Amino acid sequence: MGSITAYWDDSFVVHEPPAGEFEAEWTGRLAKREPHPDRPERLLNVRAILRTELAEYVSWEPAPSATDEQLHRVHTADHVSEFEAFCAAGGGRLTAETGANEASARAARHAAGAAAAAATHALDAGLEDVPYACVRPSGHHAQPAQVDGFCFYNNAAVAAEEALLADAVDRVAIVDWDVHHGNGTQEVFYDRADVLTISLHNDHWSWDPEAHPQTGDVDEHGAGAGEGYNLNVPLPPGTGDEGYADAFDRLVEPVVEAFDPDLLVVSAGGDAGTVDPLGRNVLTKPGFEELGRRARRLAADATDGRLALIQEGGYQVSHLPYATLGTLEGVLGLDSDVEDPFAWLGEDVDSARRRIDEVTAHYDRWWPLD
């Protein structure tokens, strides 16, 4: 059973990208500006449902601010200083969909610091007390020298680099089930064999050739020493609980076990959920519960119980908390009595399995896959 230590800072809900037309900038064609999809209510609702439903299992700790040293292991010094100067000047839009305000630099520092603290905590506590970085902004799209996809600093990468400083850690596995490709995490570790990156995501390809040049397809499988250590699992729209379970059975679990990492970091996005406006997959709360159970079991089998969870996306402000609750209930091994009020879409199991067949056939040259 165990418990959860959640890392939090109030700056996470002061960061706010500019309003416009959903994630895009305002054109003036409409009557009302819409708040950006990455709005504070996302995380406020997550914290509220955890306090309501898991109060006896979740303790809250302050999220430290990442140091320059921690950030510079992942990002160029110019990237960090230019982003902070941009926020100090009042913020605005950095790319078509990514923006910041004067509070965003502090929030991003605390998000990265929370991820690093979660990694360190996981090494000491194991599955008796699993760390969860309840953070905003997300990080998995942030690349070494540029922002992307609502992300400024790559929290999962900062966590992995922090863990690799420990004498007991030689290898880290990052499993990313956010509905969008973890392109920034891929970019950071693309030519390295000490960090395995696996991203399960919608088959959305690049949304911006400059800010997001990576496609997320299987042919992006790492380079040099990292060849074979970057796995992309692009899933068709309509993939749900059974499809994700199949991907874990056939790809995630055998590869992570063969890699034999010393820490498992999960980029735990909730936007593969059934009603998310930025995704097209249909995971339900029970599906997220199963992902949480599988993450715990995989950590028990492969990492001596070292598991760290880091919040990524999820943009339906009512469903994200249910998805996150399900993930943490699964990690804790709880039988939930909280149902998913949005689980009304069926899934396309056949299309998902055909795609997983194709992905497995690509990666079996490097890993023991059926």
Report the catalytic residues.
Answer: 141
Cα distances (angstroms) measured from residue 106 to each of 12, 16, 308, 346: 8, 12, 22, 41
Q: What does the alpha-carbon distance between residue 203 and residue 359 come to, in Å, rounded to a whole number?
A: 12
What's the farthest any 2 CA atoms get from each other in the chain? Answer: 58
Q: Which residues 6+ apart lie within 8 Å of 214 measured at CB? A: 181, 183, 186, 187, 206, 220
DSSP 95: S
Residue 153 · residue 139 · CB < 8 Å:
yes
Placement of tokens 């070292």 in the chain: 306
10 CB contacts (<8 Å, ≥6 apart)? none
Helices (DSSP H) in the chain: which residue ranges?
41-53, 68-72, 77-88, 104-125, 155-164, 183-189, 241-247, 253-259, 285-302, 319-332, 349-363
Q: Angle 273-140-1 (CA atoms, 0-180°, nearest 5)?
A: 60
> Which residues are CB-neighbours of 25 under 8 A, at least 6 positions away?
18, 93, 96
Tokens found for residue 317: 């402000």
Q: In terms of C-beta density within 10 A (0-12 exposed, 13-18 middle, 19 or more buried), how is residue 128 classed?
A: exposed
Question: Cβ atoms within 10 A of the Cβ of 358, count?
Answer: 12
Answer yes or no: are the C-beta atoms of 132 and 307 closer than 8 Å: no
What residues contact 318, with CB distance under 8 A and at least 6 apart? Answer: 45, 341, 342
CA distance 329 to 65: 28
